Structure 1
Amino acid sequence: MILTQDTPGVPGAAEYNDFFGTSVLLTDMTGDGRADLVVGADGENDQAGLVTFLKGAATGITTSGATAYGPSGFSVSTAGAPYLGTTLVG
C-alpha cells in the first residue's frame, strides 16, 4: 500500500517539500490490538511539521477517520521551524 497526502481520506494535500513519510511508526496507539500508522511530514508548512494518524483495522491500515496534527495540536511553537514529525518513537 502506498499512502500520500493525495490518498483519499488522508488529511492535507501533497505539496513540494512536505516530506510526508519523513518518519513512520507502526504501533498500537489505540490499545485495540491492531497496528496503527503514524506518519511524520517535517517539511509541512515551511518546516513547522505535521503528524498524521491512521488507524489499524482487521484488514490493515485504513484512511477512514485519519487525523493530522500540526504543532498547535501539541502546544509547540512554530517559531524557528520545529520540524514536527522528524522523529517518532513508540
Structure 2
Amino acid sequence: MFSLSWMAWTLPTAAFFVFIVCCLAGMAVWEHYVPGGSPRRGVLGLETTRGDRLFISLIGAAYVFLGWLWVMGTPLWAPLALSILLAFAVFRWV
C-alpha cells in the first residue's frame, strides 16, 4: 500500500499547498474572465506576465519568511504582512 507517513503533513504544510492551488486556480479564473495577460515591462526592465509576477511574488515571500526566521524567529505575522505588501508591489510595478 502507498503511504505518505514519511512526510510531515501538518496543518501549516497542508495550508501552504492549499494556498498554492488556490493561487493557481485564481489565476486561471482571472485569465478566463479578463483575458490578455500580455507581457508588460516593469521597473526591473523585465517583460512579465501575470504568472511570472505570481512566481516572483511566491519566491520573494519564501525569502522574506526565511530571512525573518533567520533573524527574528517566530511569530510569523510580520513576514506575512511583508509578503502581502511585496506581492502587491510586484503585481503593481514589476
Q: TM-score, normalised by structure 2?
A: 0.29
Which has the larger share of strand?
A: 1
Which has the larger share of helix?
A: 2
